[in-house]
Chains A and B, each alone.
Chain A
Amino acid sequence: MTVSEYNKSVDLFSDGIFRFILKNIKDEDEAKDIVQDTYEKLWIKASDVSYLKVKSYLFSTAYHTMIDKIRKNKRMTNISDYNDDLATYTDTYNGLNEVLDEALKQLPDVQRSVILLRDYEGYAYNEIAEITNLSESQVKVYIYRGRLALKKYIGSIEALV
Protein backbone atom coordinates (compact mmCIF):
# COMPACT_ATOMS: atom_id res chain seq x y z
CA MET A 1 0.00 0.00 0.00
CA THR A 2 1.38 3.35 -0.98
CA VAL A 3 1.41 6.47 1.17
CA SER A 4 -1.32 8.03 -0.93
CA GLU A 5 -3.45 4.90 -0.56
CA TYR A 6 -2.86 5.00 3.16
CA ASN A 7 -3.95 8.64 3.30
CA LYS A 8 -6.96 7.81 1.17
CA SER A 9 -7.93 5.13 3.66
CA VAL A 10 -7.82 7.81 6.37
CA ASP A 11 -10.31 9.90 4.41
CA LEU A 12 -12.56 6.98 3.60
CA PHE A 13 -12.66 4.90 6.75
CA SER A 14 -11.59 6.88 9.81
CA ASP A 15 -15.09 8.28 10.33
CA GLY A 16 -16.68 4.85 10.12
CA ILE A 17 -14.18 3.35 12.52
CA PHE A 18 -14.62 6.26 14.90
CA ARG A 19 -18.42 5.87 14.90
CA PHE A 20 -18.16 2.11 15.29
CA ILE A 21 -15.85 2.39 18.27
CA LEU A 22 -17.73 5.29 19.80
CA LYS A 23 -20.97 3.34 19.68
CA ASN A 24 -19.25 0.49 21.43
CA ILE A 25 -17.47 2.27 24.23
CA LYS A 26 -19.23 5.61 24.54
CA ASP A 27 -16.00 7.41 25.31
CA GLU A 28 -14.98 9.90 22.66
CA ASP A 29 -11.38 10.27 23.78
CA GLU A 30 -10.95 6.56 24.03
CA ALA A 31 -12.51 6.15 20.60
CA LYS A 32 -10.09 8.70 19.15
CA ASP A 33 -7.18 6.90 20.75
CA ILE A 34 -8.31 3.63 19.25
CA VAL A 35 -8.60 5.22 15.80
CA GLN A 36 -5.10 6.62 16.22
CA ASP A 37 -3.75 3.25 17.37
CA THR A 38 -5.49 1.51 14.51
CA TYR A 39 -3.93 3.73 11.87
CA GLU A 40 -0.59 3.54 13.62
CA LYS A 41 -0.75 -0.24 13.34
CA LEU A 42 -1.80 0.04 9.72
CA TRP A 43 1.14 2.33 8.98
CA ILE A 44 3.55 -0.15 10.49
CA LYS A 45 2.06 -2.92 8.34
CA ALA A 46 1.41 -0.69 5.34
CA SER A 47 3.78 -2.59 3.11
CA ASP A 48 2.04 -5.90 3.88
CA VAL A 49 -1.57 -4.74 3.66
CA SER A 50 -3.23 -4.53 0.29
CA TYR A 51 -5.34 -1.46 -0.33
CA LEU A 52 -8.17 -3.74 -1.41
CA LYS A 53 -8.27 -5.30 2.05
CA VAL A 54 -7.53 -2.19 4.04
CA LYS A 55 -11.07 -1.55 5.22
CA SER A 56 -11.52 -4.94 6.82
CA TYR A 57 -7.97 -4.73 8.20
CA LEU A 58 -8.79 -1.39 9.81
CA PHE A 59 -12.08 -2.53 11.31
CA SER A 60 -10.55 -5.77 12.50
CA THR A 61 -7.64 -3.92 14.10
CA ALA A 62 -9.94 -1.34 15.64
CA TYR A 63 -12.26 -4.03 16.96
CA HIS A 64 -9.46 -6.00 18.59
CA THR A 65 -7.81 -2.87 19.95
CA MET A 66 -11.13 -1.92 21.46
CA ILE A 67 -11.63 -5.37 22.97
CA ASP A 68 -8.14 -5.22 24.46
CA LYS A 69 -8.83 -1.80 25.95
CA ILE A 70 -12.17 -2.89 27.31
CA ARG A 71 -10.59 -5.89 28.96
CA LYS A 72 -7.76 -3.77 30.28
CA ASN A 73 -9.85 -0.96 31.64
CA LYS A 74 -12.86 -3.05 32.52
CA ARG A 75 -14.77 -0.10 31.31
CA MET A 76 -17.67 -2.06 30.00
CA THR A 77 -20.11 -4.01 32.09
CA ASN A 78 -20.07 -7.63 31.15
CA ILE A 79 -23.64 -8.47 30.51
CA SER A 80 -23.15 -11.60 28.55
CA ASP A 81 -25.69 -13.16 30.89
CA TYR A 82 -28.21 -10.71 29.63
CA ASN A 83 -31.37 -10.64 31.59
CA ASP A 84 -34.47 -8.67 30.80
CA ASP A 85 -34.67 -7.72 34.46
CA LEU A 86 -31.39 -5.83 34.17
CA ALA A 87 -32.90 -3.41 31.73
CA THR A 88 -34.10 -0.35 33.53
CA TYR A 89 -36.48 1.99 31.88
CA THR A 90 -36.32 4.84 34.31
CA ASP A 91 -34.73 7.26 31.85
CA THR A 92 -36.83 9.45 29.71
CA TYR A 93 -36.13 8.90 26.07
CA ASN A 94 -36.41 11.68 23.59
CA GLY A 95 -36.30 9.52 20.52
CA LEU A 96 -35.72 6.13 19.02
CA ASN A 97 -32.01 6.70 18.68
CA GLU A 98 -31.64 7.17 22.40
CA VAL A 99 -33.68 4.06 23.04
CA LEU A 100 -31.53 2.16 20.63
CA ASP A 101 -28.37 3.55 22.21
CA GLU A 102 -29.56 2.38 25.58
CA ALA A 103 -30.57 -0.97 24.13
CA LEU A 104 -27.15 -1.32 22.51
CA LYS A 105 -25.49 -0.67 25.85
CA GLN A 106 -27.33 -3.63 27.26
CA LEU A 107 -25.98 -6.00 24.65
CA PRO A 108 -22.91 -8.12 25.18
CA ASP A 109 -19.86 -6.65 23.47
CA VAL A 110 -19.72 -9.21 20.73
CA GLN A 111 -23.41 -8.89 19.83
CA ARG A 112 -23.17 -5.12 19.75
CA SER A 113 -20.07 -5.21 17.58
CA VAL A 114 -21.45 -7.58 14.99
CA ILE A 115 -24.71 -5.61 14.72
CA LEU A 116 -22.82 -2.35 14.36
CA LEU A 117 -20.58 -3.81 11.69
CA ARG A 118 -23.63 -5.14 9.91
CA ASP A 119 -25.74 -2.00 10.12
CA TYR A 120 -23.17 0.77 10.06
CA GLU A 121 -20.82 -0.66 7.47
CA GLY A 122 -23.04 -3.16 5.72
CA TYR A 123 -20.55 -5.97 6.10
CA ALA A 124 -21.54 -9.47 4.99
CA TYR A 125 -21.54 -12.28 7.53
CA ASN A 126 -18.27 -13.68 6.28
CA GLU A 127 -16.60 -10.27 6.44
CA ILE A 128 -17.80 -9.74 10.00
CA ALA A 129 -16.52 -13.21 10.80
CA GLU A 130 -13.14 -12.24 9.42
CA ILE A 131 -13.03 -8.98 11.36
CA THR A 132 -14.12 -10.47 14.67
CA ASN A 133 -12.38 -13.83 14.35
CA LEU A 134 -15.68 -15.64 14.67
CA SER A 135 -17.19 -18.28 12.42
CA GLU A 136 -19.89 -17.21 10.00
CA SER A 137 -22.52 -19.19 11.87
CA GLN A 138 -21.43 -17.62 15.16
CA VAL A 139 -21.88 -14.20 13.57
CA LYS A 140 -25.38 -15.12 12.44
CA VAL A 141 -26.25 -16.39 15.90
CA TYR A 142 -24.95 -13.22 17.58
CA ILE A 143 -26.81 -11.00 15.14
CA TYR A 144 -29.97 -13.00 15.73
CA ARG A 145 -29.62 -12.83 19.50
CA GLY A 146 -28.70 -9.16 19.40
CA ARG A 147 -31.65 -8.16 17.25
CA LEU A 148 -33.98 -10.19 19.40
CA ALA A 149 -32.67 -8.44 22.51
CA LEU A 150 -32.97 -5.02 20.88
CA LYS A 151 -36.49 -5.75 19.73
CA LYS A 152 -37.43 -6.90 23.22
CA TYR A 153 -35.97 -3.74 24.70
CA ILE A 154 -37.71 -1.44 22.23
CA GLY A 155 -40.95 -3.37 22.64
CA SER A 156 -40.75 -3.01 26.40
CA ILE A 157 -40.20 0.74 26.12
CA GLU A 158 -43.11 1.05 23.73
CA ALA A 159 -45.27 -0.89 26.15
CA LEU A 160 -44.28 1.47 28.98
CA VAL A 161 -44.80 4.58 26.89
Chain B
Amino acid sequence: MIDININNYEAYLLDLAEGELSSADEKLLMLFLDKNPEIKAEHDHFELEQVSAENIYFENKSSLKKTGILDDVSSNNFDELCIARIEGDLKNKEITEFDKIIKTNDDKEKEYNLFKLTQLSPDKNRVFQNKKSLKRKEVKTRILSKNYTVLSIAASIIILIGLYLLIPKEKENAILVSELNKNIKVEKLPEIIKENKKVVELDSKKVSVRKIAIKDNIPKQIQEVKELENSIIEEQIKREITQIAFIDPVEIKYNFVNNEAALNIVYVSFDKAQKKDIVIEESNSFGSYLAQSFNKRILKKGNKNKVELFDIAQVSLERVNKLTGSKMSLERVYNENGVADRTKFNSRLLAFSTPIKKDKNLL
Protein backbone atom coordinates (compact mmCIF):
# COMPACT_ATOMS: atom_id res chain seq x y z
CA MET B 1 0.00 0.00 0.00
CA ILE B 2 1.58 3.21 -1.08
CA ASP B 3 1.48 6.25 1.01
CA ILE B 4 0.99 9.44 -0.97
CA ASN B 5 2.04 12.38 1.09
CA ILE B 6 3.25 15.92 0.82
CA ASN B 7 6.78 14.73 0.08
CA ASN B 8 6.09 12.45 -2.82
CA TYR B 9 2.87 13.53 -4.43
CA GLU B 10 4.72 15.28 -7.34
CA ALA B 11 6.00 11.97 -8.63
CA TYR B 12 2.46 10.63 -8.68
CA LEU B 13 1.19 13.76 -10.39
CA LEU B 14 3.86 13.36 -13.10
CA ASP B 15 3.01 9.70 -13.58
CA LEU B 16 -0.64 10.63 -13.84
CA ALA B 17 0.13 13.29 -16.45
CA GLU B 18 2.15 10.79 -18.50
CA GLY B 19 -0.45 8.08 -18.12
CA GLU B 20 1.91 5.85 -16.14
CA LEU B 21 -0.21 5.66 -12.98
CA SER B 22 -2.32 2.59 -12.31
CA SER B 23 -6.02 3.06 -11.63
CA ALA B 24 -5.61 2.03 -7.98
CA ASP B 25 -2.83 4.55 -7.48
CA GLU B 26 -4.85 7.15 -9.33
CA LYS B 27 -7.70 6.65 -6.88
CA LEU B 28 -5.34 7.08 -3.96
CA LEU B 29 -3.91 10.21 -5.57
CA MET B 30 -7.38 11.63 -6.07
CA LEU B 31 -8.21 10.98 -2.42
CA PHE B 32 -4.97 12.74 -1.46
CA LEU B 33 -5.84 15.71 -3.71
CA ASP B 34 -9.36 15.92 -2.23
CA LYS B 35 -7.85 16.14 1.20
CA ASN B 36 -5.41 18.82 0.03
CA PRO B 37 -7.32 21.38 -2.08
CA GLU B 38 -4.29 23.68 -2.47
CA ILE B 39 -2.33 20.84 -4.12
CA LYS B 40 -5.31 20.01 -6.26
CA ALA B 41 -5.22 23.57 -7.62
CA GLU B 42 -1.53 23.04 -8.40
CA HIS B 43 -2.42 19.82 -10.20
CA ASP B 44 -4.98 21.61 -12.36
CA HIS B 45 -2.35 24.19 -13.27
CA PHE B 46 0.14 21.36 -14.13
CA GLU B 47 -2.37 19.85 -16.50
CA LEU B 48 -2.66 23.16 -18.33
CA GLU B 49 1.09 23.34 -18.78
CA GLN B 50 1.25 20.19 -20.84
CA VAL B 51 2.11 21.22 -24.35
CA SER B 52 0.69 19.35 -27.20
CA ALA B 53 2.75 19.07 -30.37
CA GLU B 54 1.94 21.77 -32.82
CA ASN B 55 2.38 21.82 -36.54
CA ILE B 56 5.49 23.95 -36.50
CA TYR B 57 8.22 23.11 -39.04
CA PHE B 58 11.69 24.41 -39.89
CA GLU B 59 11.27 25.77 -43.34
CA ASN B 60 14.91 26.37 -44.31
CA LYS B 61 16.11 22.79 -44.31
CA SER B 62 17.69 23.13 -47.73
CA SER B 63 20.13 25.69 -46.37
CA LEU B 64 21.44 23.06 -43.98
CA LYS B 65 21.87 20.36 -46.57
CA LYS B 66 25.19 19.74 -48.30
CA THR B 67 25.68 18.90 -51.88
CA GLY B 68 29.36 18.10 -51.39
CA ILE B 69 32.06 18.01 -48.77
CA LEU B 70 33.57 21.24 -49.95
CA ASP B 71 30.49 23.36 -49.70
CA ASP B 72 31.88 25.16 -46.72
CA VAL B 73 35.61 24.68 -47.04
CA SER B 74 37.28 26.73 -44.40
CA SER B 75 40.84 27.06 -43.21
CA ASN B 76 39.83 24.81 -40.34
CA ASN B 77 38.76 21.82 -42.33
CA PHE B 78 40.95 22.26 -45.40
CA ASP B 79 43.88 20.55 -43.68
CA GLU B 80 41.60 17.70 -42.84
CA LEU B 81 40.46 17.45 -46.44
CA CYS B 82 44.02 17.58 -47.76
CA ILE B 83 45.03 14.74 -45.46
CA ALA B 84 41.91 12.77 -46.38
CA ARG B 85 42.78 13.33 -50.05
CA ILE B 86 46.34 12.04 -49.75
CA GLU B 87 45.23 9.19 -47.48
CA GLY B 88 42.73 8.09 -50.10
CA ASP B 89 39.80 8.57 -47.76
CA LEU B 90 37.76 10.70 -50.20
CA LYS B 91 35.26 9.21 -52.60
CA ASN B 92 35.61 9.75 -56.32
CA LYS B 93 33.03 12.52 -56.38
CA GLU B 94 34.72 14.25 -53.46
CA ILE B 95 38.12 13.93 -55.12
CA THR B 96 36.79 15.62 -58.25
CA GLU B 97 35.30 18.38 -56.14
CA PHE B 98 38.47 18.80 -54.14
CA ASP B 99 40.67 18.90 -57.22
CA LYS B 100 38.41 21.55 -58.71
CA ILE B 101 38.74 23.73 -55.62
CA ILE B 102 42.51 23.61 -55.44
CA LYS B 103 42.85 24.35 -59.14
CA THR B 104 40.92 27.53 -58.70
CA ASN B 105 42.72 28.60 -55.54
CA ASP B 106 46.52 28.96 -55.63
CA ASP B 107 46.90 29.20 -51.87
CA LYS B 108 44.95 26.07 -51.32
CA GLU B 109 46.88 24.27 -54.05
CA LYS B 110 50.14 25.28 -52.41
CA GLU B 111 48.88 24.03 -49.08
CA TYR B 112 47.81 20.79 -50.62
CA ASN B 113 51.17 20.37 -52.35
CA LEU B 114 52.89 20.72 -48.99
CA PHE B 115 50.71 17.94 -47.64
CA LYS B 116 51.60 15.81 -50.62
CA LEU B 117 55.24 16.22 -49.70
CA THR B 118 54.61 14.65 -46.32
CA GLN B 119 54.02 11.30 -47.98
CA LEU B 120 57.05 9.19 -47.37
CA SER B 121 58.45 6.68 -49.78
CA PRO B 122 60.85 3.95 -48.73
CA ASP B 123 64.39 3.90 -50.00
CA LYS B 124 64.36 0.52 -51.71
CA ASN B 125 68.15 0.52 -51.82
CA ARG B 126 68.24 0.13 -48.06
CA VAL B 127 67.90 -3.58 -47.58
CA PHE B 128 68.63 -5.98 -44.79
CA GLN B 129 71.90 -7.51 -45.93
CA ASN B 130 72.18 -10.48 -43.67
CA LYS B 131 69.04 -12.37 -44.63
CA LYS B 132 70.96 -15.63 -44.58
CA SER B 133 71.41 -15.31 -40.83
CA LEU B 134 67.65 -15.12 -40.39
CA LYS B 135 66.83 -18.14 -42.47
CA ARG B 136 66.36 -21.57 -41.02
CA LYS B 137 67.10 -24.92 -42.45
CA GLU B 138 64.73 -27.83 -42.40
CA VAL B 139 65.46 -28.52 -38.78
CA LYS B 140 62.95 -31.31 -38.54
CA THR B 141 64.67 -33.20 -41.31
CA ARG B 142 68.02 -32.70 -39.69
CA ILE B 143 66.76 -33.85 -36.36
CA LEU B 144 65.25 -36.85 -38.06
CA SER B 145 68.48 -37.73 -39.79
CA LYS B 146 70.35 -37.27 -36.53
CA ASN B 147 67.79 -39.52 -34.91
CA TYR B 148 68.43 -42.13 -37.53
CA THR B 149 72.13 -42.00 -36.78
CA VAL B 150 71.47 -42.32 -33.08
CA LEU B 151 68.96 -45.08 -33.71
CA SER B 152 71.42 -46.91 -35.93
CA ILE B 153 74.08 -46.73 -33.24
CA ALA B 154 71.58 -47.82 -30.57
CA ALA B 155 70.34 -50.67 -32.77
CA SER B 156 73.91 -51.80 -33.42
CA ILE B 157 74.67 -51.78 -29.71
CA ILE B 158 71.48 -53.71 -28.96
CA ILE B 159 72.29 -56.26 -31.65
CA LEU B 160 75.82 -56.65 -30.31
CA ILE B 161 74.55 -57.10 -26.77
CA GLY B 162 71.91 -59.50 -28.04
CA LEU B 163 74.44 -61.52 -29.96
CA TYR B 164 76.71 -61.59 -26.94
CA LEU B 165 73.89 -62.87 -24.79
CA LEU B 166 72.87 -65.37 -27.42
CA ILE B 167 76.29 -66.84 -27.88
CA PRO B 168 75.97 -70.43 -26.66
CA LYS B 169 77.30 -70.88 -23.21
CA GLU B 170 78.59 -74.33 -24.00
CA LYS B 171 81.36 -72.67 -25.93
CA GLU B 172 82.44 -70.88 -22.83
CA ASN B 173 82.00 -73.99 -20.79
CA ALA B 174 83.76 -76.08 -23.40
CA ILE B 175 81.06 -78.67 -23.68
CA LEU B 176 80.24 -78.53 -27.36
CA VAL B 177 79.49 -81.90 -28.81
CA SER B 178 80.70 -82.75 -32.25
CA GLU B 179 78.20 -85.16 -33.74
CA LEU B 180 74.77 -86.45 -33.17
CA ASN B 181 74.45 -89.69 -31.14
CA LYS B 182 78.17 -89.88 -30.64
CA ASN B 183 80.04 -89.63 -27.45
CA ILE B 184 80.07 -86.22 -25.96
CA LYS B 185 83.36 -84.64 -26.53
CA VAL B 186 84.43 -81.85 -24.30
CA GLU B 187 86.70 -79.39 -25.98
CA LYS B 188 88.26 -78.38 -22.73
CA LEU B 189 88.34 -81.14 -20.25
CA PRO B 190 87.51 -79.84 -16.84
CA GLU B 191 89.57 -80.68 -13.89
CA ILE B 192 88.12 -83.68 -12.05
CA ILE B 193 87.68 -82.90 -8.44
CA LYS B 194 85.90 -85.99 -7.29
CA GLU B 195 85.06 -89.29 -8.90
CA ASN B 196 82.69 -92.05 -7.88
CA LYS B 197 82.06 -95.24 -9.83
CA LYS B 198 79.29 -97.70 -9.33
CA VAL B 199 77.71 -100.50 -11.27
CA VAL B 200 74.00 -100.44 -11.85
CA GLU B 201 71.53 -102.70 -13.62
CA LEU B 202 70.31 -101.28 -16.88
CA ASP B 203 68.02 -103.44 -19.05
CA SER B 204 69.38 -106.55 -17.28
CA LYS B 205 72.87 -105.46 -18.14
CA LYS B 206 75.46 -104.27 -15.77
CA VAL B 207 76.32 -100.72 -16.44
CA SER B 208 79.17 -98.92 -14.91
CA VAL B 209 78.12 -95.49 -13.88
CA ARG B 210 80.84 -93.05 -13.13
CA LYS B 211 80.11 -89.83 -11.45
CA ILE B 212 82.69 -87.18 -11.44
CA ALA B 213 82.70 -83.74 -9.97
CA ILE B 214 84.56 -81.40 -12.20
CA LYS B 215 85.98 -78.02 -11.64
CA ASP B 216 84.99 -75.95 -14.52
CA ASN B 217 83.81 -72.50 -15.31
CA ILE B 218 80.63 -71.55 -13.61
CA PRO B 219 78.33 -73.42 -13.27
CA LYS B 220 80.05 -76.37 -11.75
CA GLN B 221 79.36 -79.58 -13.51
CA ILE B 222 79.20 -83.22 -12.91
CA GLN B 223 79.73 -85.63 -15.70
CA GLU B 224 78.07 -88.97 -15.62
CA VAL B 225 79.18 -91.68 -17.96
CA LYS B 226 77.43 -94.98 -18.42
CA GLU B 227 79.67 -97.70 -19.75
CA LEU B 228 79.01 -101.29 -20.84
CA GLU B 229 82.02 -103.52 -21.16
CA ASN B 230 84.30 -100.53 -21.60
CA SER B 231 82.19 -99.01 -24.29
CA ILE B 232 80.34 -95.89 -23.47
CA ILE B 233 76.66 -96.25 -24.06
CA GLU B 234 75.52 -92.98 -22.60
CA GLU B 235 77.29 -89.94 -21.46
CA GLN B 236 75.61 -87.12 -19.70
CA ILE B 237 76.67 -83.89 -18.31
CA LYS B 238 75.23 -83.32 -14.92
CA ARG B 239 75.16 -79.77 -13.86
CA GLU B 240 75.07 -78.81 -10.28
CA ILE B 241 73.92 -75.39 -9.55
CA THR B 242 74.86 -74.91 -5.95
CA GLN B 243 78.03 -76.66 -5.11
CA ILE B 244 80.44 -79.33 -6.17
CA ALA B 245 78.77 -82.42 -4.88
CA PHE B 246 76.43 -85.18 -5.88
CA ILE B 247 73.47 -83.41 -4.39
CA ASP B 248 70.65 -82.76 -6.84
CA PRO B 249 72.63 -83.09 -9.99
CA VAL B 250 70.90 -82.09 -13.17
CA GLU B 251 70.83 -83.79 -16.49
CA ILE B 252 71.80 -82.05 -19.64
CA LYS B 253 70.56 -83.39 -22.93
CA TYR B 254 71.73 -82.33 -26.31
CA ASN B 255 69.44 -82.17 -29.28
CA PHE B 256 70.77 -81.72 -32.74
CA VAL B 257 68.89 -80.18 -35.55
CA ASN B 258 70.44 -80.44 -38.98
CA ASN B 259 73.78 -80.99 -37.34
CA GLU B 260 73.49 -77.61 -35.65
CA ALA B 261 74.18 -77.73 -32.01
CA ALA B 262 70.91 -76.55 -30.58
CA LEU B 263 71.38 -76.92 -26.90
CA ASN B 264 68.44 -77.92 -24.82
CA ILE B 265 69.27 -78.05 -21.21
CA VAL B 266 66.84 -80.13 -19.28
CA TYR B 267 67.04 -79.83 -15.56
CA VAL B 268 65.78 -82.90 -13.85
CA SER B 269 66.17 -84.30 -10.45
CA PHE B 270 68.73 -87.01 -10.03
CA ASP B 271 66.07 -89.02 -8.31
CA LYS B 272 63.76 -90.23 -11.07
CA ALA B 273 60.91 -90.47 -8.62
CA GLN B 274 61.16 -86.71 -8.14
CA LYS B 275 61.76 -85.95 -11.73
CA LYS B 276 60.79 -82.41 -12.56
CA ASP B 277 59.99 -81.15 -15.98
CA ILE B 278 61.58 -77.85 -15.48
CA VAL B 279 62.68 -77.06 -18.95
CA ILE B 280 64.91 -74.21 -19.78
CA GLU B 281 65.74 -74.15 -23.40
CA GLU B 282 68.60 -72.17 -24.64
CA SER B 283 69.36 -71.57 -28.24
CA ASN B 284 72.80 -71.29 -29.59
CA SER B 285 71.85 -69.34 -32.71
CA PHE B 286 70.05 -66.14 -33.45
CA GLY B 287 67.68 -68.00 -35.75
CA SER B 288 66.71 -70.33 -32.94
CA TYR B 289 66.13 -67.37 -30.67
CA LEU B 290 63.85 -65.79 -33.25
CA ALA B 291 62.04 -69.08 -33.67
CA GLN B 292 61.54 -69.35 -29.94
CA SER B 293 60.24 -65.81 -29.68
CA PHE B 294 57.91 -66.38 -32.63
CA ASN B 295 56.61 -69.61 -31.13
CA LYS B 296 56.14 -68.10 -27.73
CA ARG B 297 54.58 -64.79 -28.66
CA ILE B 298 52.79 -65.37 -31.95
CA LEU B 299 52.02 -69.04 -32.11
CA LYS B 300 51.76 -69.54 -28.34
CA LYS B 301 53.55 -72.85 -28.73
CA GLY B 302 56.03 -72.70 -25.92
CA ASN B 303 59.76 -72.36 -26.34
CA LYS B 304 60.40 -74.59 -29.33
CA ASN B 305 63.41 -73.45 -31.25
CA LYS B 306 61.90 -74.26 -34.58
CA VAL B 307 58.93 -72.82 -36.37
CA GLU B 308 56.63 -75.20 -38.15
CA LEU B 309 54.66 -74.10 -41.15
CA PHE B 310 51.76 -76.08 -39.82
CA ASP B 311 51.63 -73.95 -36.69
CA ILE B 312 51.71 -70.77 -38.74
CA ALA B 313 48.96 -72.05 -40.99
CA GLN B 314 46.84 -73.10 -38.02
CA VAL B 315 47.18 -69.77 -36.24
CA SER B 316 46.45 -67.89 -39.48
CA LEU B 317 43.36 -69.98 -40.04
CA GLU B 318 42.16 -69.26 -36.50
CA ARG B 319 42.54 -65.54 -37.15
CA VAL B 320 40.64 -65.81 -40.42
CA ASN B 321 37.87 -67.71 -38.64
CA LYS B 322 37.75 -65.02 -36.00
CA LEU B 323 37.51 -62.24 -38.56
CA THR B 324 35.07 -63.86 -40.98
CA GLY B 325 33.10 -66.03 -38.61
CA SER B 326 33.84 -69.11 -40.77
CA LYS B 327 34.65 -72.55 -39.36
CA MET B 328 37.71 -73.73 -41.27
CA SER B 329 39.98 -76.19 -39.55
CA LEU B 330 43.43 -77.58 -40.12
CA GLU B 331 44.41 -80.67 -38.20
CA ARG B 332 47.11 -83.28 -38.10
CA VAL B 333 46.13 -86.91 -38.49
CA TYR B 334 48.21 -89.37 -36.47
CA ASN B 335 48.88 -92.99 -37.48
CA GLU B 336 48.77 -95.97 -35.16
CA ASN B 337 52.36 -95.29 -34.05
CA GLY B 338 51.33 -91.87 -32.85
CA VAL B 339 53.21 -90.15 -35.61
CA ALA B 340 51.53 -87.30 -37.50
CA ASP B 341 51.51 -88.38 -41.12
CA ARG B 342 48.71 -86.36 -42.74
CA THR B 343 47.29 -82.89 -42.63
CA LYS B 344 43.57 -82.48 -42.89
CA PHE B 345 41.83 -79.29 -43.99
CA ASN B 346 38.12 -78.84 -43.58
CA SER B 347 35.85 -75.93 -44.48
CA ARG B 348 32.26 -75.42 -45.57
CA LEU B 349 33.17 -75.54 -49.28
CA LEU B 350 36.37 -77.53 -49.37
CA ALA B 351 37.94 -80.43 -47.52
CA PHE B 352 41.13 -82.31 -48.28
CA SER B 353 43.81 -84.39 -46.67
CA THR B 354 47.46 -84.37 -47.69
CA PRO B 355 50.50 -86.35 -46.46
CA ILE B 356 53.06 -84.52 -44.39
CA LYS B 357 56.38 -84.09 -46.07
CA LYS B 358 59.05 -84.67 -43.53
CA ASP B 359 61.99 -82.37 -43.09
CA LYS B 360 60.29 -79.63 -45.04
CA ASN B 361 58.19 -78.22 -42.30
CA LEU B 362 61.00 -76.50 -40.61
CA LEU B 363 61.87 -72.96 -41.21
Residues of A within 8 A of B (CB): 3, 6-7, 10-11, 14-19, 22-23, 32, 35-36, 39, 43, 96-97, 100, 103-104, 115-116, 118-120, 143-144, 146-148, 150-151, 154-155, 158
Contact = CB atoms under 8 A, between A and B. Distances in A.
Nearest to A118: B87
B120 A14 contact: no
B133 interface: yes
Contact of A14 (B87, B118, B128): B128
Given A3-B138, A104-B120, A36 B114 contact: no
A9 to B, nearest CB: 9
Majority-rule SS of A interface residues: helix
Which A-B residue pairs are the 8 nearest by beta carbons?
A150-B118, A18-B128, A119-B120, A14-B128, A15-B127, A39-B134, A120-B122, A10-B134
B114 A155 contact: yes
B105 interface: no
A119 B119 contact: yes
Interface of B: 79-80, 83, 86-87, 111, 114-115, 117-124, 126-128, 130-131, 133-140
A119 B121 contact: yes
Nearest to A39: B134
Contacts of A100: 117-118, 120
Given A18-B126, A119-B122, A147-B115, 7 more contacts: A14-B134, A15-B126, A32-B130, A116-B120, A118-B87, A120-B121, A150-B117
B122 A19 contact: yes
Contacts of B128: 14-15, 17-18, 32, 35
Contacts of B134: 10, 14, 35-36, 39
A7 B114 contact: no
Nearest to B135: A7
A155 B80 CA distance: 17
A51 to B, nearest CB: 14
